Chain A
Amino acid sequence: MRRRATIITSLMASAVLTLAACSPGAPAGEAKTLKIVYQKTASFTALDTLFQSAKQEFEAANQGVTVELEPIQAEDDDYGTKLALALRSPATAPDVFYEDTFKVRSDVDAGYLLKLDSHLQAWSEWDTFDDAAKAAGLGDDGGTYAVPVGTDTRAIWYNKKVLAAAGVSLPWEPRTWQDILDAARKIKASDPTVVPFNMYAGKATGEGTVMQSFYELLYGTDSALYDAEAKKWVVGSAGFTDALAFLKTLYDEKLAVSPAEALDANVWKKVFGEWLPQAKMGATVEGSYTPSFWQDGGSYEWPGYEQDMGVAPFPTQEGQAPGGVSMSGGWTLAVGAETKNPDLAFGFLTTALNKKNSLAFNIASSQIAVRKDVAADSTYQAANPFVKDVSELVSVTHYRPATADYPRISAAVQEATEAVITGAKSPEQAAADYDAAVKDLVGEDKTVRK
């Protein structure tokens, strides 16, 4: 009996000792782990593939380092929320993470991101990155906090069959807003069951409403959303009212989808999955990633989309220079400010974004390459027939003013479009209400009349 007690006691003691050796307080210090957080959804696994291969490469090159991959299964909005919640506490903050370009500035303000300037200086491949894309990782202090993995642009995607049937000459190259209305009215006249020209509106489509619709209009006038030099929000502009009036015309004349359809958060699925493939829609404004839905393995496979679809830059209001408008977002990789191994974390980041991995990722996710050597690669250029057209739009593109106030301003713009297309307010009223909302949000001294 006594013997058994001794055995149990010694077993327990050895267990305690073993456990103590495993605890983080142990002075071993040899084994290091890097925690990587990124997004993965049922239809978006390209990033997972990228990190799996980067993990193998990096662990082989750095003995004793373990890379822990922690994909978050969520759509964009929810991913942002979950990431921000993880970043709030040093105990849960990742070492390297996938970060939306438009969150970079406010997350730098929050102290979540490590400044990378000294690391980047020593990284020879940094020069192969496109200068415009590099700007996406800048904080308000001018330092670089994130490295872009890819970007996107927006364009008009049109169904050639529908346009041809309505007698619109191909390739379609609208020069002004009026050209769009003319073509849309022709399509409507030739087949009333077709949606001629869709542009998102309302709060249900969220950022889609502003990125793939309203900003293409606004930035094609002589106005803007934000004065970056004065760091002030623009109010009272004629361009804002004109842009709303254009949407009103589209919806009032039933050239776009019905307001009820526009206010369904799932409307984009019908655009990609039903209306364009079935030749029930003439054209829509969408991102450069559009082919990824229709390619083999995409959510809405459409063999033959290369022949049926065409792409055109979104025109400026009166055809003024530079002749086209696009919006860009995109994603970056960043290093957590609280990381215990900044050099290793940066090393992993550069492995993930080396030429081989960037090329594979940009092709798999239909992203526009930000490395010049990737952009020049023949496999990238052959990935789909539209790569060249949508990549050229980078020269006329705009980025969102990603301050901490931005999400609310964006919501106010979305509300203005919703009020106009449902007929609740006139474009002038909606613009005035937007102005009031902006002044309320940021304070009158941070606004400027233009």
Chain B
Amino acid sequence: MAVPRTTRWVRLLPVLPAVVLLLVFLAGPVLWAFHASLTNAALTGRNARSPGWVGLDNYARLLTDPVLPLSLALTVLFVGGSAILGQNMLGLLIAVLMRRARRSVSAVVGTAVVAAWVLPEIVAAFAAYAYFSRDGTLNQLLGGLGLGQPDWLYSFPMVAIMLANVWRGTAFSMLVYRAALDDVPGEVTEAALMDGASGWQRLAFITLPMIRGSIATNLMLITLQTLAVFTLIWVMTAGGPSNASTTLPVLAYQEAFKFGDIGYGTAVASVLILIGMVFGAAYIRLLREAKP
């Protein structure tokens, strides 16, 4: 049935506030950041009074900044290691195992995993700092077992913050996959079982393809979230030692607020936005293909 033009407009009205809010609070800052990255705006000093247009100078400077390649590599490592591999795989594994486990076991595991997710980021960050610091819980455990006690935040800062991010974020993936697995029709799996498919075969050829949409959605969300992680890293290592854990958000913060160079800081942030968009586009493609 064809809907008259005017009614269609009226139907869009309730969405309007949301669209306006999105434009003001999402597109606005993104555009502002991009605009600022083309100027030499600063927090203080002469450039704070009269910021000048410098075109692509900040981006040219980015290309020669020795910290940028390191920072990019660390960001990719952080997202790849702690989100795509860590949170995603661990979340799936826990979700699969929980379906088989006894109700009581699955309740305990579920609560433990979700507890980290419930903590505000700053609290989780302090907890992780206390856990990995030199006299922290982890080293006391290792000491109790008679093993070495490395200084995690100093010698292996990326390992520490990646583990912390896996700990904190796995709950989200687990919840997504639990919901998705519950939607897989039982008769399909039963049919495969009748045909003699092993557990692995059922997972690889039946379950995973059927929850492909959830996988893509989950990957997109945790990637974008992990790209933006700042508090966790700032509290645990502040990007150090010697920039060994300076991911792009940390770098952008340092440039914009520690050195007051807003123009350059927003240029770093724009690169971060760009990376997020590339990942986002890739997952959306994946999502489309997932539709039968």
With a CB–CB cut-off of 8 A, which chain B residues contact A330? none
Instruction: Kindly provide the distance from the CB of A351 to the nearest chain B CB, expressed in whole angstroms.
Output: 27
Q: Are B241 and A407 in contact (CB under 8 A)?
A: no
For residue B210, CB closer than 8 A to chain A, the reply is no
Q: In the complex, which residues 15-61 of chain B have their Cβ closer than 8 Å to any Cβ of chain A?
A: 42-49
Q: Are A264 and B259 in contact (CB under 8 A)?
A: no
Among A36-44, A54-62, A80-88, the one that faces the other chain is A80-88
For residue A238, CB closer than 8 A to chain B, the reply is no
Selected from A107, A203, A264, A418, the residue in CB contact (under 8 A) with B44 is A107
Q: Are B154 and A103 in contact (CB under 8 A)?
A: no
Selected from A103, A112, A260, the residue in CB contact (under 8 A) with B134 is A260
Asked, given contacts A260-B151, A260-B155, A407-B260, whether A110 binds B44 with beta carbons under 8 Å apart, the answer is yes
Asked, given contacts A260-B151, A260-B155, A407-B258, whether A103 binds B242 with beta carbons under 8 Å apart, the answer is no
Selected from B133, B238, B260, the residue in CB contact (under 8 A) with A84 is B260
Asked, given contacts A110-B48, A404-B45, A404-B46, whether A202 binds B240 with beta carbons under 8 Å apart, the answer is yes
Q: In the complex, which residues 106-142 of chain A have their Cβ closer than 8 Å to any Cβ of chain B?
A: 106-107, 109-112
Closest to B48 in A: A110
For residue B153, CB closer than 8 A to chain A, the reply is yes
Docked Cα-Cα span, A411 to B240, in Å, equals 13
Selected from A109, A204, A424, the residue in CB contact (under 8 A) with B240 is A204
With a CB–CB cut-off of 8 A, which chain B residues contact A111? 48-49
Q: In the complex, which residues 293-325 of chain A have their Cβ closer than 8 Å to any Cβ of chain B?
A: none
Q: Are B258 and A404 in contact (CB under 8 A)?
A: no
Instruction: Kindly provide the distance from the CB of A143 to the nearest chain B CB, expressed in whole angstroms.
Output: 16
Q: Are A109 and B43 in contact (CB under 8 A)?
A: no
Q: Are A84 and B43 in contact (CB under 8 A)?
A: yes
Instruction: Kindly provide the distance from the CB of B134 to the nearest chain A CB, expressed in whole angstroms.
Output: 7
Instruction: Bin chain B's interface residue count.
Output: 20 to 34
With a CB–CB cut-off of 8 A, which chain B residues contact A261? 134
Q: Are A203 and B46 in contact (CB under 8 A)?
A: no
Closest to B46 in A: A109
With a CB–CB cut-off of 8 A, which chain A residues contact B205? none
Closest to B255 in A: A408
Q: Are B238 and A204 in contact (CB under 8 A)?
A: yes
Docked Cα-Cα span, A81 to B256, in Å, equals 10
Q: Are B49 and A109 in contact (CB under 8 A)?
A: yes
With a CB–CB cut-off of 8 A, which chain A residues contact B45? 106, 109-110, 403-404
With a CB–CB cut-off of 8 A, which chain B residues contact A109? 44-46, 48-49
Docked Cα-Cα span, A415 to B67, in Å, equals 13
Q: In the complex, which residues 393-430 of chain A have their Cβ closer than 8 Å to any Cβ of chain B?
A: 403-404, 407-408, 411, 415, 418-419, 422, 424
With a CB–CB cut-off of 8 A, which chain A residues contact B258? 77, 407, 411
Docked Cα-Cα span, A419 to B258, in Å, equals 20
With a CB–CB cut-off of 8 A, which chain A residues contact B238? 203-204, 265
Best-surrounded residue of A85, A259, A404 (most CB of chain B within 10 A) = A404
Q: Are B46 and A418 in contact (CB under 8 A)?
A: no
Closest to A110 in B: B48
For residue A263, CB closer than 8 A to chain B, the reply is yes
With a CB–CB cut-off of 8 A, which chain A residues contact B259? 407-408, 411
Contact with A along B257-278 (1 / 0, CB 8 A): 1111000000000000000000
Q: Are A264 and B46 in contact (CB under 8 A)?
A: no
Closest to B234 in A: A265
Docked Cα-Cα span, A408 to B67, in Å, equals 14
With a CB–CB cut-off of 8 A, which chain A residues contact B241? 202-204, 263, 418, 422
Closest to B152 in A: A260
Q: Are A85 and B242 in contact (CB under 8 A)?
A: no
Q: Are A110 and B46 in contact (CB under 8 A)?
A: yes
Instruction: Kindly provide the distance from the CB of A331 to the nearest chain B CB, expressed in whole angstroms.
Output: 16
Q: Are B44 and A419 in contact (CB under 8 A)?
A: no
Docked Cα-Cα span, A260 to B48, in Å, equals 37
Docked Cα-Cα span, A424 to B240, in Å, equals 14
Docked Cα-Cα span, A203 to B133, in Å, equals 18
Q: In the complex, which residues 228-275 of chain A have their Cβ closer than 8 Å to any Cβ of chain B?
A: 258-261, 263-265
Residues of A with Cβ closer than 8 Å to B? 77, 81, 84-85, 88, 103, 106-107, 109-112, 202-204, 258-261, 263-265, 403-404, 407-408, 411, 415, 418-419, 422, 424
- Beyond the given pairs A202-B241, A415-B242, 16 more chain A to chain B contacts, judged by CB atoms under 8 angstroms and listed by A's residue number, are A77-B258, A103-B44, A106-B44, A106-B260, A109-B45, A109-B46, A202-B240, A203-B242, A263-B154, A263-B240, A263-B241, A265-B238, A404-B44, A411-B258, A419-B242, A424-B242
9 CB-based A-B contacts, threshold 8 Å: A111-B49, A203-B240, A258-B151, A260-B154, A264-B133, A264-B134, A404-B46, A407-B259, A411-B259
